[in-house]
Amino acid sequence: MKRLPLLLVLVAAPLWAQQTDRAGVTGSVRLAESGVPVPGALVTLEGTPYRTLTDSAGVYRFVDVSPGPHVILVRRIGFAPARVPIVVPTRGTLLQDVTLARTALQMPDITVTAEPAGRARGELGTASVIDRAAIANQVATSLRGVLELLPGVPSQPPGLEGVQQVGLRSVPTSQPVGFTAGGPSAADLASFGTLIILDGVPVSNNANLQSTGPRGELDFLLQSSAGGGVDLRRIPASTIERVEVIRGIPSARYGDLTQGVVIVETRAGVAGPEIAGRLDERTVETSLVGGRRLGGAHAVTATVDAVRTRLRPGLTAEDATRVAVQLAHRLQLGPARYGAEPALNSRLDLFRLAADNPERPEVFPGRASASQEFGLRLSERLRLGLGTRGVLTVTASADYVRSRASVQALRLRSALPFTDRTTEGRATGRYVIGEYLSDLRIEGDAWQLYSRLEADRMFGGFGFDHRFLAGVELRREWNDGAGILFDIERPAQVTFNGVQGFDRPRRFDAIPPVATTAIYVDDRLVRAFGPVTATLQAGLRADLFHRGTTWFSGVRSAVLQPRLNAELAPAPWLRLRAGIGRTAKVPSVGSLFPTRQFFDVVNVNWFTTDPAERLAVLTTFVRDPTNPDLGFAVGSKREAGVQIVTGRRGLTLDVVTFRDRTRGGVGFRSEPGFLVRELFDFADSTTGTGQPPTLIEPATRADTVPILLDVPANALTLDNRGVEATLQLPEIRPLRLRLHVQGAWVKTDFASEGLDFGRGFGTFQVNGAIPRTPYWDGVTRKSERFLLTYRLVHHRPDLGLVITVLVEHIARDVREDSVGADTLSFAGYITRTGQLVPVPSARRGDPEFADLRVARGGSFARQEVPADWFLTLQVSKTLPLGGRLSFYAFNALDRQGRIASAIAARTFPRLRFGLEVTLPLGSLLGAGGGLP
Amino acid sequence: MRPATWSLVLAGLAACAGRSAAQTPEPIRAMPPWMSGWSPLVRLADIGRRLPGTPAFSDVLAAPPPRIGLFWTAGIPVGVGADVIEPRLEARAGRVGGHGPFRRALDVDADGASRVTGVGWRPVGRGAVAGRVIAALRAVDAAGHAAMLDPHRSDPFVLADSALPAMRRLQAQLEGAAAWRLGRLDAGFAAGIAVDDYRTQEARFPRLGRASLPALGAGLAIRLPLALRAAVHARWTGGAETWILSAQPGVGEVYRLAGYSDPTRAVVQPPLFAFRRADREANAFGGGLEGRLLGARWVVHARRERRTNSYMSTRDVNPPTDRWRARGWTVGAAIQARVPGDAFLLTAQTRSRTVTGEGRRSDLEGIFFRAKEQIVESSAELWYRPRGGAWRGAAAFHLRRENMQRRDFIVDVYTDIQSWTIAGRLEIARDFGRVSAGVGLAVAGYTPSAAIPDPAAMGPLYQQLVAQENSLYVLPSLPYSARLGLAWNANANTTVAVDAARERVTRRGSAIDVAFAPTGAYTRWAVELRVVMSR
pLDDT reading at A556 higher than 90? yes
Side chain identity at residue A888, one-letter code:
Y
Closest of B333, B324, B330 to residue B375, by C-alpha? B330
Q: Name which of B203, B212, B317 is nearest A911 (Cβ-Cβ).
A: B212
Provide, as residue numbers in chain B, all residues whose Cβ is less than 8 Å from the Cβ of A908: none
Side chain identity at residue B140, one-letter code:
V
B10 interfaces chain A, CB cutoff of 8 Å: no
Q: Name which of B172, B199, B214 is nearest A913 (Cβ-Cβ).
A: B172
DSSP string, B48-89: PPPPP-PPPP--TTTSPPP--STTTTT--GGGHHHH--S-EE
B193 with A889: Cβ contact below 8 A: yes
pLDDT reading at B230 higher than 80? yes
Tell me which chain A residue has its CA closest to the CA of residue B137. Answer: A281
Q: Name which of A314, A889, A893 is nearest B240 (Cβ-Cβ).
A: A893
Helix (H) and strand (E) counts for chain A? 6, 45
Provide the b/e sequence for A609-627 (b: ≥16 CB within 10 Å).
eeeebbbbbbbbbebebeb
- Residue A902's pLDDT is what? 56
* Each residue's pLDDT tens digit, A902-922: 555 678 888 999 999 888 886
A314 with B238: Cβ contact below 8 A: no
Provide, as residue numbers in chain A, all residues whose Cβ is less than 8 Å from the Cβ of B203: 314
Give residue ranges of A with CB < 8 Å to any B CB. Answer: 279, 281, 313-315, 360, 362-363, 799, 801, 873, 875, 877-880, 885, 887, 889, 892-896, 898-901, 905, 910-915, 917
B494 interfaces chain A, CB cutoff of 8 Å: no
Name the DSSP letter for residue A125. Answer: S
Give the pLDDT band of residue B493 (cuts 50, 70, 90). confident
Q: How far is B270 from chain A (nearest CA, A)?
A: 9
Provide, as residue numbers in chain B, all residues whose Cβ is less than 8 Å from the Cβ of A887: 8, 11, 133, 172, 174
pLDDT reading at A347 higher than 70? yes
Closest of B45, B125, B128 to residue B80, by C-alpha? B128
For residue A69, say if its preceding peptide bond is cis, omega within 30 degrees of 0: no
Measured CA to CA, the distance from residue B97 to residue B111 in angstroms comes to 5
Measured distance between the N- and C-terminal CA atoms of chain B, rounded to whole angstroms = 13
* Each residue's pLDDT tens digit, A51-69: 888 888 889 998 878 777 7
Provide, as residue numbers in chain A, all residues whose Cβ is less than 8 Å from the Cβ of B272: none
Contact partners, residue A335, CB within 8 Å, separation at least 6: A341
* Each residue's pLDDT tens digit, A514-546: 999 999 999 999 888 888 889 999 999 999 999
Measured CA to CA, the distance from residue A701 to residue A600 in angstroms comes to 18
Provide, as residue numbers in chain A, all residues whose Cβ is less than 8 Å from the Cβ of B195: 889, 892, 911, 913
pLDDT reading at A733 higher than 70? yes
- Residue B6's pLDDT is what? 41
A363 with B248: Cβ contact below 8 A: yes
DSSP string, B112-167: EEEEEEEEEEEEETTEEEEEEEEEEEEEESS--SB-SS---SSS-EEEEES----E
Chain A interface test: which of B8, B132, B174, B207 (most A C-beta within 10 Å): B8
Give the pLDDT band of residue A293 (cuts 50, 70, 90). confident
Provide the b/e sequence for A455-477 (b: ≥16 CB within 10 Å).
bbbbbbbeebbbbbbbbebbbbb
Tell me which chain A residue has its CA closest to the CA of residue B245. Answer: A315
Half-sphere exposure (CA, 13 Å, Cβ side) for B489? 16
Provide, as residue numbers in chain A, all residues whose Cβ is less than 8 Å from the Cβ of B5: 877-880, 885
User: Residues B158-186: what's their mean pLDDT?
Assistant: 90
Closest of A897, A922, A932 to residue A78, by C-alpha? A922
Sign (positive or negative) of CA dihedral A729, A733, A734, A738? positive
Residues 229-268 of B with CB under 8 A from A: 238-242, 246, 248-249
Tell me which chain A residue has its CA closest to the CA of residue B16. Answer: A279
- Residue B271's pLDDT is what? 81
Measured CA to CA, the distance from residue B109 to residue A212 in angstroms comes to 51
Provide, as residue numbers in chain A, all residues whose Cβ is less than 8 Å from the Cβ of B197: 281, 911-913
Q: Name which of B4, B135, B207 is nearest A877 (Cβ-Cβ).
A: B4
B12 with A315: Cβ contact below 8 A: no
Tell me which chain A residue has its CA closest to the CA of residue B14. Answer: A915
pLDDT reading at B500 higher than 90? yes
- Residue A4's pLDDT is what? 43
Per-residue 3-state assignment (H helix, E strand, C coil) for B185-233 = EEEEEEEEEEEEEEEECCCCCCEEEEEEEEEEEEEEEEEECCCEEEEEE
User: Residues B438-461: what's their mean pLDDT?
Assistant: 94
Q: Name which of A314, A873, A875 is nearest B200 (Cβ-Cβ).
A: A314
* Each residue's pLDDT tens digit, A159-203: 999 899 999 999 988 765 444 556 788 888 999 999 999 999 999
- Do residues A207 and A479 make contact, with C-beta atoms less than 8 angstroms apart? yes
Contact partners, residue A259, CB within 8 Å, separation at least 6: A167, A168, A169, A170, A190, A193, A194, A635, A660, A662
A913 with B195: Cβ contact below 8 A: yes
* DSSP H/E element including B376: strand B369-384
Q: How far is B419 from chain A (nearest CA, A)?
A: 38
Q: Name which of B201, B207, B212 is nearest A894 (Cβ-Cβ).
A: B212
B172 with A889: Cβ contact below 8 A: yes
Provide, as residue numbers in chain B, all residues whose Cβ is less than 8 Å from the Cβ of A359: none
pLDDT reading at A488 higher than 80? yes
B15 with A279: Cβ contact below 8 A: yes
- Do residues B127 and B83 make contact, with C-beta atoms less than 8 angstroms apart? no
Measured CA to CA, the distance from residue B207 to residue A600 in angstroms comes to 48
Measured CA to CA, the distance from residue B474 to residue B470 in angstroms comes to 7
Residue A436, classed as helix, strand or coil, is: strand
Closest of A738, A662, A674 to residue A702, by C-alpha? A674
Tell me which chain B residue has its CA closest to the CA of residue A313. Answer: B199
Closest of B112, B273, B304 to residue B206, by C-alpha? B273
pLDDT reading at B13 higher than 50? no
pLDDT reading at A271 higher than 90? no
Chain B interface test: which of A316, A792, A888, A915 (most B C-beta within 10 Å): A915
* Each residue's pLDDT tens digit, B335-354: 999 987 788 999 999 999 99
Share of residues in chain A with pLDDT > 90 (%): 48
Cα three-residue angle A327-A330-A334, rounded to 5 degrees? 175
Tell me which chain A residue has its CA closest to the CA of residue B269. Answer: A363
For chain B, the average pLDDT equals: 89
- Between A395-399, A843-847, B143-147, B467-471, the lowest mean confidence (pLDDT) is in B143-147
Q: Name which of A799, A892, A898 is nearest B195 (Cβ-Cβ).
A: A892
Q: How far is A797 from chain B (nearest CA, A)?
A: 14
B316 with A899: Cβ contact below 8 A: yes
A885 with B9: Cβ contact below 8 A: yes
Beta bridge partners of A355: A320, A371
* Each residue's pLDDT tens digit, B101-160: 999 999 888 889 999 998 999 898 888 999 998 999 988 887 788 888 889 999 999 999
Residues 87-146 of B with CB under 8 A from A: 133, 135
> Could you count the other beta carbons within 10 Å of the beta carbon of residue B318?
9
Contact partners, residue B412, CB within 8 Å, separation at least 6: none
pLDDT reading at A297 higher than 90? no
- Residue A14's pLDDT is what? 39
Measured CA to CA, the distance from residue B347 to residue B378 in angstroms comes to 11
Measured CA to CA, the distance from residue A761 to residue A757 in angstroms comes to 6
Give the pLDDT band of residue A601 (cuts 50, 70, 90). very high
Beta carbon pairs, A and B, within 8 Å: 95
- Do residues A447 and A428 make contact, with C-beta atoms less than 8 angstroms apart? no
Side chain identity at residue A848, one-letter code:
E
> Could you count the other beta carbons within 10 Å of the beta carbon of residue A339?
17
- Residue B357's pLDDT is what? 97
Measured distance between the N- and C-terminal CA atoms of chain A, rounded to whole angstroms = 57
ipTM: 0.86
Measured CA to CA, the distance from residue A71 to residue A80 in angstroms comes to 16
- Residue A928's pLDDT is what? 40
Chain A interface test: which of B1, B2, B5, B149 (most A C-beta within 10 Å): B5
Contact partners, residue A2, CB within 8 Å, separation at least 6: none
User: Residues A643-649: what's their mean pLDDT?
Assistant: 78
pTM for the model stands at 0.88
Provide the b/e sequence for B399-413 (b: ≥16 CB within 10 Å).
ebebebbbbbbebeb
Closest of A144, A236, A169, A134 to residue A806, by C-alpha? A134
B12 with A917: Cβ contact below 8 A: yes
Residue A504, classed as helix, strand or coil, is: coil
Closest of A233, A302, A296, A238 to residue A272, by C-alpha? A302
* Each residue's pLDDT tens digit, A807-851: 999 999 998 888 777 889 899 999 999 999 999 999 999 999 999
- Residue A926's pLDDT is what? 53
Measured CA to CA, the distance from residue A638 to residue A580 in angstroms comes to 4
B8 with A360: Cβ contact below 8 A: no
Tell me which chain B residue has its CA closest to the CA of residue A910. Answer: B210
* Each residue's pLDDT tens digit, A782-802: 999 999 999 999 888 877 888
Q: Pseudo-torsion of CA A339, A340, A345, A351, nearest 10°? A: 60
B272 interfaces chain A, CB cutoff of 8 Å: no
B11 with A915: Cβ contact below 8 A: yes
- Residue A221's pLDDT is what? 58
B249 with A281: Cβ contact below 8 A: no
Chain B interface test: which of A804, A806, A887, A918 (most B C-beta within 10 Å): A887
- Residue B515's pLDDT is what? 87
What is the CA A295 to chain-centroid distance, rounded? 39
* Each residue's pLDDT tens digit, A681-691: 888 878 788 88
Sign (positive or negative) of CA dihedral B377, B382, B388, B389? negative
For chain A, the average pLDDT equals: 87
Q: Name which of B203, B214, B315 is nearest A893 (Cβ-Cβ).
A: B214
* Each residue's pLDDT tens digit, B25-40: 676 677 888 998 899 9
